[in-house]
Amino acid sequence: MPPGDAPRTVPASLSATAVRAALDVLPHQTAILDHDGVIVLCNRAWLEFMRENGGNPATCGPGVNYLNVCENATGLCADEGEEVARGMRDVLGGRRESFSTEYPCHSPTEQRWFRLTVTPFDDGPSRYLLATHENVTERRHVEIREADMDAEVRQEVALRTITLRNEVNELDSFIGAVSHDLRAPVRHIQGFLTLLRRRLDPRLGEEDRRLLTVIDGATQRLNSMIDELLKLARVTQTALQIRELNLAQVVLRAWANLAPETEGREIDWVAGDLPVVRGDPQLLTLAFENLLSNAVKYTSGRARAKIEVGARDVGDHWVVFVQDDGVGFDPRYTERLFGAFQRLHSEQEFSGVGMGLANVKRIVTRHGGQVWAESHPGEGATFYLSFPKPAR
């Protein structure tokens, strides 16, 4: 307003006309209710919707108590009618600032949903309600389609998970059966090789002896691989015997089982405070045996090695670590560590078939946890295992 201009007075008749016109241009069904819930004004959209659905002004137009209409609703909308009436009474009584709800209002030809919004306003001492019904059918259809798609995705994921689990179980059974069957021919090769040595020993030259030694080493390695495959199959197929375990006792038992490997070694053994977890004692002992055996193996080049086991509290999980100061590994190949028959060092450097960490991963995964590792060449390695905390 320009400075000095006095406010313009709007005539009452023009004001009422403007209100009606304003209501009529609104796209949603809108009505004004007085303090008793009687419809004072309603717009064109309200009247058109009423006529299209078999109503008339005498049942839901100006002068009709809308609260009574809602409270006396019958059929599919009866529950929504009572809720709407309660909400509007709360707003009129000052117990709520506003009220809104979504409700179905289906017709014989289509499914429809509306959102009712009730907002109060005052004209002097009198309180009124502005009630607006917005058609939200399109949005609800989108939500329903998305919900159906989510349900289909969940069902598909569940089906694929079951299928994958069955395939893994079948594969593990196959691995176990084949590995067991391979033992006999490998034993035969080793037996015939020993017999051949005895018979031909006087006539064997140096090259012949070397070749026989190579064959013997290969069969021994094959036998070790078969043993590890059988362990892997057992780790997967064995039913878990879950109970609460003090990991400190599990780790100490695993360390004691490695006495033949640590004999004659100078190792600083550090075991920090370890948590109580839920798990299978035999499988978790096997997991820590593999981790500690790795640490013993890859610190063999040190006159005095250090191996440490500890834990950190990370909220809903415990993270347990096994750390050594051995040769370490290239971090670019970390993912290969936990694969079957994957090795980052040659057989000449360190013996083994590369199945220990694969067993560790399967065991920890079956306990609902994860495994990962960190290292740099020459700087040792740290292996981490996460365990969910027992529910209290």
List, for residues 324-349, the tens digit of each pLDDT value. Answer: 998 888 788 777 777 765 555 555 55
Is the C-alpha dihedral spanning 8, 14, 18, 21 positive or negative?
negative
Buried b (16+ CB within 10 A) or exposed e, 238-247: eeeeeeebeb
pLDDT at position 353 over 60: no
- Pick the range with the lowest mean pLDDT from 2-11, 23-32, 71-80, 326-335: 2-11
Terminal-to-terminal C-alpha distance of the chain: 68
Mean pLDDT of the region 115-135: 90
Q: How far apart are CA 159 and CA 272, in angstroms?
A: 43
pLDDT at position 215 over 50: yes
pLDDT at position 125 over 60: yes
Q: What is the pLDDT of residue 15?
A: 66
What's the mean pLDDT when you consider all of the chain?
81
Mean pLDDT of the region 268-279: 90
The answer to whether residues 129 and 84 touch, using CB atoms and an 8 Å cutoff, is no
Among 116-125, 159-168, 225-234, top mean pLDDT goes to 116-125
- Residue 2 banded pLDDT, cuts 50, 70, 90: very low
Q: Which percentage of the chain shows pLDDT scores above 90?
A: 20
- Residue 389 banded pLDDT, cuts 50, 70, 90: confident
Q: What is the pLDDT of residue 357?
A: 83
Q: How far apart are CA 365 and CA 78, in angstroms?
A: 52
β-bridge partners, 277: 245
Mean pLDDT of the region 105-130: 85
Write phi, then psi, for 323 (nearest 5 degrees): -120, 140
pLDDT at position 50 over 70: yes
Q: What is the pLDDT of residue 300?
A: 84
Higher pLDDT, 287 or 109: 287
- Residue 189 banded pLDDT, cuts 50, 70, 90: confident
Q: Which percentage of the chain shows pLDDT scores above 70?
A: 81
Q: What is the pLDDT of residue 1?
A: 45
Q: Parallel, antiparallel, or unpaired: how do β-strands 113-123 and 126-135 relate?
A: antiparallel
Q: What is the pLDDT of residue 206?
A: 84
Q: What is the pLDDT of residue 312?
A: 93
Higher pLDDT, 189 or 238: 189
Number of H helices, E strands in the chain: 11, 12
Q: What is the pLDDT of residue 180?
A: 63
The answer to whether residues 298 and 264 touch, using CB atoms and an 8 Å cutoff, is no
Q: What is the pLDDT of residue 9?
A: 47
- Pick the range with the lowest mean pLDDT from 75-79, 208-212, 307-311, 370-374: 75-79
pLDDT at position 81 over 50: yes
- Residue 356 banded pLDDT, cuts 50, 70, 90: confident
pLDDT at position 87 over 60: yes
- Residue 161 banded pLDDT, cuts 50, 70, 90: confident
Higher pLDDT, 236 or 48: 48
Q: How far apart are CA 383 and CA 310, in angstroms?
A: 11
pLDDT at position 7 over 90: no
Q: What is the pLDDT of residue 10?
A: 44
